[in-house]
Amino acid sequence: MANQIIEAHQEQTSTISRVNVPPAQTWNYLRINDLSFEVPTPHFVGDVYARLPRMFEGVECGIGDEAATWIVRASGDARFVEVKAGEQREQPIYVDIDASATEVRDTGVLVRTGASATIVTCAHGCEGDTSASLLRVVAERDARVTIIELVACGSGQQHLDAIGIDAAEGARIDMRQYALGGSRVALGLACSLAGTGARFALDSRYLASGRDVLDVNHVVRQRGRVTRSDIVTTGILADAARKTMRETIDLVHGAKGAEGSEIETVLVTGDEVVNKTLPVILCDEEDVAGNHGASIGAISPEQLGFLSSRGLSDDVAERLFARALFDDALIHADVAEARQAVLARATEVLGIDVARDIAEVLDIDFEEASC
Amino acid sequence: MSDQLLSVSGLSAGTEDKPILHDINLTVGAGETHVLMGPNGAGKSTLGHVIMGDPIYQVTSGSIVFGGQDLTDKSPDKRSLAGIFLSYQAPVEVPGVPLYSFLRTICQMRPELKTTARKFRQRVGEIADQLDINQNFLTRELNVGFSGGEKKKIEMLQLLLLRPKLAILDETDSGLDVDALSIVSRGIEAYRKECDGALLMITHNTRILERLTVDRTHVMVHGSLVADGPASLIDDIDAHGFARFENALEQKEQA
């Protein structure tokens, strides 16, 4: 019943403003502080749907209150999953967002003490207007959570994807984020490392081409002592794509011994690309360490030299990086439906021959599909 | 004497501000095994990289002819596709590129190695087993987080997969423990047997040569090739070091 809801009411639209606002803003003229979205106005016909338990209400999700509220309202229904204490859940919790059907999802996952779980979200489709997903995760003490976030929408689609995480003492969150498509995409992410020794590792990858707009906001609040965060972002920008990346590590007062690092490497292959990055470390504690760095432009000379010595020209090396992004997404998308969505997007971006080759090399069934 | 595969003639090269190699003459025949020895800083690795076409170095005179084709001005990718392979002393990490993607792409660039994905997977699996490489490595990013020994094994995997006509192994044995050295030696031996390729081994460690039949040994000092001889020269160097070559070069330069 979670499939929703916008249906035939898309003639009514409203504007969501202040999407992906970073904790520390900069000069407005840089146009990096936020983004606005035109979205369908949710329409209700009297049904009453489930809401998530109240514990999820306070979970920050990076995309902004206005956008999060819209997703909750537009989704109508909500899905709640609880992984019991000590359970090592093998079957991934899968959140499927069919962007062609303008689906909007609101999901809450509670991973109890000492439990482990994998969550896969995948937005996909070819046509349609606006889709969205809001995933909130509460990880209790010593929980282990792996999150794979895939946005494989087709050209012409608008998508909002938000993830909020609260991690208690000793909890460990490993996350991989893949932005593979969509004409206008906002990714919001916030992780609160509240408990002592909580850890968060994010590997974020993106590919934007054509006139796509990709807008990302990563926020990590390190509140607990000896917490660790490690954000590694790599991306490819082609043609006239526009990307904004905000990465904030907030070392909150009291987070003694906390360490955080963020680094972004961008491969720019288009002459009209607009690439904006706002890396910020906020620090209100003395005994902490924060690092950030960005490498923008091309593949490093050492890497190019190495790849060239194996027979790859600069052009082929760039194509390898694009293919590798899909390979990597497939390797980690541990759900058959999500893999097919990635392959469909690969077909659109790289062509059917390369997509089929990727599938066969990784021994994945290939169902021909593209936009 | 087998067919001449590589011919380096009167080669001088260096970085923008520093000449390193001086008037190098070296020929390697098809299927031959040559060993290049010399003290640290002699320019051995530089010669390997210059033959591969590393753009860090500029050739100021001389030529590099490979398989009858003058490659002196060609880019490294052209040289690689012509059949030259350089195993790096410190293989470069390439984040974001799974090993599988990389291997597939470098094979598909070579018409003689193009094959179906199924056969490719099978071939890679066989070589990985041969080199005791865990198949999980194939889905990891190229060289990222690998130990020194693992990186060298991955270099050997590429060597056996690409089957080049000439492999230049730049201190492939450095930093390896006994077990890893044994596996890498097995890989080199397999390359010689299965591919009948030529080898130019740059090394300080004669253990890696135990399984090989060496055709020629060359000695480099201060960027110059100062001696060459049969395999027995290796034992001689092992016993007496490079001092006499360094002294001879010094006297020659003073004269």
- Nearest CB partner across the interface for B101, out of A205, A234, A327: A327
- State the pLDDT at residue A4: 46
Rounded to the nearest angstrom, the minimum Cα separation between B96 and chain A is 7
- State the pLDDT at residue A252: 96
* Cβ–Cβ under 8 Å, residues B5 and B66: yes
Interchain contact, B80 vs A327, CB within 8 Å: no
Rounded to the nearest angstrom, the minimum Cα separation between A331 and chain B is 7
Buried b (16+ CB within 10 A) or exposed e, B40-72: eebbbbbbbbbbbbbeebebeebebbbbeeebb
- Name the residue with tokens 């895939």: A150
- State the pLDDT at residue B2: 55
**Nearest one of A323, A346, A369 to A152, comparing CA atoms:** A346
Largest CA distance in chain A: 66
**A8 has a pLDDT exceeding 50:** no
Q: What is the ipTM of this complex?
A: 0.93
Residue ranges of the domains in chain A?
7-297, 300-371
Indicate the pLDDT class of residue B12, thresholds 50, 70 and 90.
very high
C-alpha R_g of chain A: 20
Residue A261 one-letter amino acid:
S
- State the pLDDT at residue A49: 67
Mean predicted confidence (pLDDT) in A14-29: 90
Beta bridge partners of B64: B8
**B110 has a pLDDT exceeding 90:** yes
User: Angle of helix B117-130 relative to helix B99-108, nearest 10 degrees?
Assistant: 120
Rounded to the nearest angstrom, the minimum Cα separation between A303 and chain B is 6
Residues 6 or more apart whose CB falls under 8 angstroms from that of B120 comprise A361, B103, B104, B107
Q: Which two tokens stand for residue B211?
A: 């399984």
**Nearest one of B186, B183, B214, B184 to B198, comparing CA atoms:** B214
Q: Select the residue from B57, B79, B104, B143 to test the A interface by mutation, using most A Cβ atoms within 10 A.
A: B104
Residue of B nearest to A300 (CA): B94
Distance of alpha carbon B178 from the chain centroid: 21
Residue A49 one-letter amino acid:
Y
Q: Which two tokens stand for residue A67?
A: 């956008």
Q: Which two tokens stand for residue B15?
A: 């970085």
pLDDT by residue (tens digit) across A112-165?
999 999 999 999 998 778 999 999 999 999 999 999 999 999 988 999 999 999
Report how many Cβ contacts below 8 Å link chain A to chain B: 98
pLDDT by residue (tens digit) across A213-253?
999 999 999 999 999 999 999 999 999 999 999 999 999 99
Cα distance between residue A160 and residue B216, in whole Å: 65
- Nearest CB partner across the interface for B100, out of A234, A325, A327: A327
- State the pLDDT at residue A3: 45
**Nearest one of A334, A345, A339 to A360, comparing CA atoms:** A339
Supply the mean pLDDT for chain B: 92
Residues 6 or more apart whose CB falls under 8 angstroms from that of B173 comprise B181, B184, B203, B205, B207, B208
Rounded to the nearest angstrom, the minimum Cα separation between B232 and chain A is 32
How many percent of chain A have pLDDT more than 90?
Answer: 73
Q: Select the residue from A202, A234, A266, A310 to test the B interface by mutation, using most B Cβ atoms within 10 A.
A: A310
* Cβ–Cβ under 8 Å, residues B206 and B238: yes
- State the pLDDT at residue B254: 82
- Name the residue with tokens 């009167």: B10
Rounded to the nearest angstrom, the minimum Cα separation between B54 and chain A is 7
Interchain contact A354–B (C-beta under 8 A)? no
**A94 has a pLDDT exceeding 60:** yes
Cα distance between residue B149 and residue B228, in whole Å: 31
Mean predicted confidence (pLDDT) in A166-183: 97
Mean predicted confidence (pLDDT) in B103-120: 94
- State the pLDDT at residue A31: 84
pLDDT by residue (tens digit) across A239-290?
999 999 999 999 999 999 999 999 888 888 888 999 999 999 999 998 999 9
Distance of alpha carbon B94 from the chain centroid: 20
C-alpha R_g of chain B: 18
- State the pLDDT at residue A11: 56
Beta bridge partners of A293: A263
Supply the mean pLDDT for chain A: 91
* Cβ–Cβ under 8 Å, residues B197 and B166: yes
- State the pLDDT at residue A48: 64
Residues 6 or more apart whose CB falls under 8 angstroms from that of B195 comprise B160, B163, B164
All domains of chain B in start order, with CATH: 4-90+164-254 (3.40.50.300)
Cα distance between residue A39 and residue A15, in whole Å: 6
**A98 has a pLDDT exceeding 60:** yes
Mean predicted confidence (pLDDT) in A336-351: 95
- Nearest CB partner across the interface for A320, out of B76, B97, B120: B97
- State the pLDDT at residue B205: 78
| CA triple B35-B37-B39, angle to 5 deg | 170
